[in-house]
Structure 1
Amino acid sequence: MAKRLTTFSKFLITLVIVAAIFLGGKWVLDNTEFGQNLLNQAKSDGPEMVKKDSKKSGAGDDDVLKVQIFTWGGYAPGLYFNEGAEPSERSRFYQDYGLKVKFELIDDFDGSRQAWKADEVHLLGNETGAMNTEMEGLAPYDPKIVLQCDWSRGGDAVVVRRDITNVNDLKGKKIAYAGFTPSVTFLVYMLESAGLSINDVEPVEVPLPTDAANAFIGGQVAAAIVWSPDDEKCVREVAGARVLQSTKEASNIIADVYMAKDEYVKANKDKIDKFYEGWMIAAAEINSVPSNKDKAARILAEVTGIPVPDALSAINNVRLTTQGDNMNYFGLNLDYKGMTGEQLYTKMGSEFEALGQAPASRPSWRQLAYPNAARSANAKLTGSTHRAEGAAEFKPVTEETKAKPAISKKLVSINFETGQFELDPNAKTIIDLQFASILKSYGNTRIRIEGNTDNVGSKSSNKA
């Protein structure tokens, strides 16, 4: 059986190979006409070549916009438009806008925050609901949300054991989730869809989403809020386990964004505008052309070190938000009735505060939002590829669809006058309060409304 080389043996072999190349190369340089010509050319052209390479790399250049990324599909547009992580003359940010951009992969959460505070990066990745939990540490730097990167579309999921058939079955059960993270957002909205709250289940808070997955695999909990690809691992390793729902269904609850310090935004408005515009163009191109998505996946894989198929899957697990989507997110489209950044941030702020995970003195949405870049680009970024995502289209209801088990059920009581069918203002208010948020957050899910009637009149007159 073949054995893996130890680190030390690899090191020795590397030294031998390097030494052999060095000695062989030195002999060629010293003893052949070809070698002498190379030496002469290097002496005459060396400084210019070094200068040219430095210009491409942007090394040591204070004029570079430094952007933090996690290993996440939502960051593909920036890497795609930049032709990689490093600033270069091949970058379309540079070619189209004269902007040098460097992406810094910092998967360590706390490390990314420290880098932002120390100005080692200018743009920091965050998530709209969960950022409430960080405001005690971030607020002193006056953060501004400058663009929405994506909506999670499968990156977050709840895995359950075989005896759990819908969300309502989770009542009284142990659910593992990572506190202070978007997992809380998913848990809150999921339970709300069944008329439940965290008080109706037995919450098992853990430090990381991977810990939630391990708790589920270890049989400690009945369900867990996990991040992709741990959902697949849980289903694979626990007999009868399945994904009950994910952000493919709860399509508008987890919104990833970039934020910058207010002082940086004020001093570099032009850079922010150019970066925003380039990012939106990239998102539109990736969303609309499969070959562009493949290219983005290859670049994402190269930068993060994950396999290309995994990178492509990561991109497919998000909605890369466009110019139109950002107009909606920032509340700039007055005709938009769906979920906005303000609604998410405000609702989850209250939820996190109730859990003791967010300070009461956190900034308001008005203090955080910086919609100027989206507003400035709106006249330029036109056409179908830049439009906001449309509403999900559903096929006509079939008998099979009618009989399909629901993933969650919510009971709401409203009253009618005897023999009447019209809703009074009070009933409409109840429906708005109980269902509006669910309709906005579960944009890719069919909502089935069932009810009963009184015994006044004929059977046909009591049917819709």
Structure 2
Amino acid sequence: MGDLKRPRIAGRGLTGVPLPPADQPLHAPGVREDPRGFRSAGAGGKRLEPPAAFEPGDGVLEIELSEYAGYAGIVLANGGLEPKADSLLARKCGMPVRIRLSEEESWSALNAGRMAASATTVDVLAVYGDQMDVVVPAQIGWSRGADAVVVRSGIRSLAGLRGGVVAAARFTESDFFLRTLAAEAGIPVAVLPSPEAPPRSDAVNLLYLPDNEAAADRFLEDLGKGGGRLAGTVTWEPKVSEVLGKGGKGVRVLARNLNLLLVADVLLVNGGFARARPEVVAGLVEGMLEGNSLLRGPDRGNHLPAVAAAFGWEPEEAAENLSRVHLSNLPENLAFFSGAVDAGGSFGMLYQSAVLAYGPALLPRPAPEDRFPSLDALRALEKSGAFRGQRVDIAPVRTAALSLEGEPLLRKDVRFLFQRGGNAVDPAYGGQNEAAVAEILRLLRIGKGSLVRVRGFVDNAEWEEAKRAASTSARTFQEFAAALSLARAETVRALLAGKGIERDRILAVGTSWVQNVGSAVPQNRRVEAEWFPVE
């Protein structure tokens, strides 16, 4: 199988020197501002080369990408890797394009103007963007299944990783994937300063290795020795398949980004060049979207040999690797940057999620998210009517039947509070209830096809009232409590459906018993949510 790879970042500085220790900020003290707002290294900093504009000295546009199926549309539009004056991409850009494939870091070269463009994921941009003079003119696509959390078979939910140690690679999209899931579950993340350090009992503990391959290998080594130090690893393909194959029945996938749209690839263009040659950037965006359209269209099979030849794959490998990515079209791009996307995370949401996932201890001064998007090319294409007839179309990928009977991936700490004795939400807690709706909507949108189970509860005072009412009725007090708790869950289901979520994605359950979460009675009169991603 062809490797589903992106540039390796973890464990190495952007100029080939080691990153700071795992529990230290990426950006060391002594950072200096320059007049353009980009930071350069002070004493001890591991920094990019200063910004400079790309100049196509030989009349060729230089792009560097990783050997990754998500970039196949750009490669196809170029007719391969080498510059061709008559390629679709060359005609759109007004100059031939050379694509270099590399698994080394390209950020310093891109920043310093030794290439015109590259690509990365939004979460990585949040980590390194404070040093970079780049623009993001388009989304390339989504990773769909390349990253996964693989754990020992006895671990059934994210809560099962609390107190455990997970092998990972720092500041990769896999690291971001696990950190985001832990944050959604309300579980803190701790970084072990050494392999021997004791883990925190209340946290998911990350043991950082040089890269994702090494992280997977460390977990396999622990399994092979019969050790119990590691609970799992978060890594990417093809190491996910290798761990599952060698680990056998002793391991399982806890979560995969097959339908969790958190890893979004974006095009990066050298900032000085983009400002000087916006027409070339527009051509690059249009050519990429044309290539993506060809690989999404009915004649996709006709283009697989060209993609395979460029990446050194067999056509069957190209088809398999492309099945694990979603190549974005024009309306999906517009929705992604505007925040209107309801089938995944938006640029702003993913950027801020990365900032929050790593926290101020690791990212003390992240760049503002609005520094990077430059959407003139996308808006011009929309106005021109190009790609007319396209629509947002990101369907869930189902590999197995989804059941709501088992353990959810996470129980979300969101609560809807109700008026006493009824199923109407309590206006005294309007802000909290509105925030709870927004939280569940966000999960359902980033988890394409995912389901949510909402569980209604009664409080202890209502339980006693139900007992008294039952004494003069043929119904038991359990039936009173069951009806009320189910009615509350159905109220939440209706609220979510009113926001455009299909009703069959929401299961309402009445618990019919008291399960207090504190001494405050209104906090016990509630509905809670559990999340089941499609896998």
Decide: shared fold, TM above 0.5. Answer: yes
* Residue in structure 1 matched with residue 59 of structure 2 by the alignment: 63
How far is 1:390 from its partner? 4.8
Do the aligned partners of 1:104 and 1:121 also contact (CA within 8 Å) in 2?
Answer: no
Q: What SS does the aligned partner of 1:276 have?
A: helix
| Equivalent residue runs for 1:31-430 within 5 Å | 62-95=58-91, 98-109=94-105, 112-136=106-130, 138-139=131-132, 142-199=133-190, 200-219=203-222, 220-240=229-249, 241-250=251-260, 252-289=261-298, 291-292=299-300, 294-331=301-338, 339-356=345-362, 358-360=363-365, 362-379=366-383, 380-384=385-389, 386-390=390-394, 392=396, 401-424=403-426, 425-430=430-435
How far is 1:359 from its partner? 4.4
Do the aligned partners of 2:94 and 2:280 also contact (CA within 8 Å) in 1?
Answer: no
How far is 1:354 from its partner? 3.2
* Residue in structure 1 matched with residue 486 of structure 2 by the alignment: 463
- Picking from 448, 457, 463, the partner of 1:452 is 457
CA distance in structure 1 between the partners assigned to 2:184 and 2:294 by the alignment: 34
CA distance in structure 1 between the partners assigned to 2:440 and 2:303 by the alignment: 38
Q: What runs of 5+ residues in structure 2 fail to find an aligned partner? A: 1-55, 191-202, 223-228, 470-479, 488-535
Do the aligned partners of 1:339 and 1:441 also contact (CA within 8 Å) in 2?
Answer: yes
Give the fraction of aligned pairs with identical amino acids, expressed as a percent: 21
Q: 1:298 to 1:221 in 2, by over 3 A?
A: farther
Q: What SS does the aligned partner of 1:125 have?
A: strand
Q: What SS does the aligned partner of 1:449 have?
A: strand
CA distance in structure 2 between the partners assigned to 1:183 and 1:376 by the alignment: 34
Greater fraction strand? 2
How far is 1:460 from its partner? 4.3
Q: 1:160 to 1:463 in 2, by over 3 A?
A: same
How far is 1:86 from its partner? 1.4
CA distance in structure 2 between the partners assigned to 1:438 and 1:62 by the alignment: 48
Q: What SS does the aligned partner of 2:414 have?
A: coil
How far is 1:341 from its partner? 0.5
Q: What SS does the aligned partner of 1:417 have?
A: coil
Q: 1:61 to 1:208 in 2, by over 3 A?
A: same
Do the aligned partners of 1:115 and 1:121 also contact (CA within 8 Å) in 2?
Answer: yes
Do the aligned partners of 2:81 and 2:99 also contact (CA within 8 Å) in 1?
Answer: yes
CA distance in structure 2 between the partners assigned to 1:270 and 1:405 by the alignment: 52
Do the aligned partners of 2:167 and 2:232 also contact (CA within 8 Å) in 1?
Answer: yes
Greater fraction helix? 1
CA distance in structure 2 between the partners assigned to 1:236 and 1:102 by the alignment: 38
How far is 1:255 from its partner? 0.9
Q: 1:421 to 1:442 in 2, by over 3 A?
A: same
Q: What SS does the aligned partner of 1:218 have?
A: helix
Greater relative contact order structure (CA < 8 Å, 6+ sep): 1
Do the aligned partners of 2:135 and 2:269 also contact (CA within 8 Å) in 1?
Answer: yes
How far is 1:411 from its partner? 4.1
How far is 1:88 from its partner? 1.5
How far is 1:295 from its partner? 4.5
Q: Which runs of 4+ in 1 moved over 6 A?
A: none
Do the aligned partners of 1:67 and 1:124 also contact (CA within 8 Å) in 2?
Answer: yes
Q: 1:65 to 1:295 in 2, by over 3 A?
A: farther
Q: Give TM-score scaled by structure 1 length.
A: 0.77
How far is 1:160 from its partner? 0.9
CA distance in structure 1 between the partners assigned to 2:483 and 2:120 by the alignment: 54
* Residue in structure 2 matched with residue 35 of structure 1 by the alignment: none
Do the aligned partners of 1:209 and 1:225 also contact (CA within 8 Å) in 2?
Answer: yes
CA distance in structure 2 between the partners assigned to 1:308 and 1:391 by the alignment: 24
After superposing the two structures, state which structure 1 stretch, 229-238 or 345-354, moved more.
345-354
How far is 1:272 from its partner? 0.8
Q: Quick check: which has more Rg, 1 or 2?
A: 1
CA distance in structure 2 between the partners assigned to 1:144 and 1:359 by the alignment: 22
After superposing the two structures, state which structure 1 stretch, 117-126 or 278-287, moved more.
117-126
Do the aligned partners of 1:170 and 1:201 also contact (CA within 8 Å) in 2?
Answer: yes
Do the aligned partners of 2:63 and 2:117 also contact (CA within 8 Å) in 1?
Answer: yes
RMSD: 2.6
Residue type matched to 1:214 in 2? D
How far is 1:237 from its partner? 0.7
Q: Give TM-score scaled by structure 2 length.
A: 0.67
Q: 1:322 to 1:439 in 2, by over 3 A?
A: same
Do the aligned partners of 2:185 and 2:411 also contact (CA within 8 Å) in 1?
Answer: yes
Do the aligned partners of 2:417 and 2:433 also contact (CA within 8 Å) in 1?
Answer: no
What are the Cα deviations for residues 179-216 of structure 1, in whole angstroms up to 9, with x where unaligned? 12112220122223433231411211122111111111
CA distance in structure 1 between the partners assigned to 2:415 and 2:483 by the alignment: 23
Q: What SS does the aligned partner of 1:144 have?
A: strand
How far is 1:155 from its partner? 1.0
Residue type matched to 2:335 in 1? N
CA distance in structure 2 between the partners assigned to 1:347 and 1:185 by the alignment: 9
CA distance in structure 2 between the partners assigned to 1:369 and 1:407 by the alignment: 33
What are the Cα deviations for residues 365-393 of structure 1, in whole angstroms up to 9, with x where unaligned? 12111111111111333333x32235659
Residue type matched to 2:357 in 1? E
Do the aligned partners of 1:146 and 1:370 also contact (CA within 8 Å) in 2?
Answer: yes
What are the Cα deviations for residues 61-119 of structure 1, in whole angstroms up to 9, with x where unaligned? 7322221110111100011111111121441223566442211112112xx22432343
CA distance in structure 1 between the partners assigned to 2:103 and 2:310 by the alignment: 12
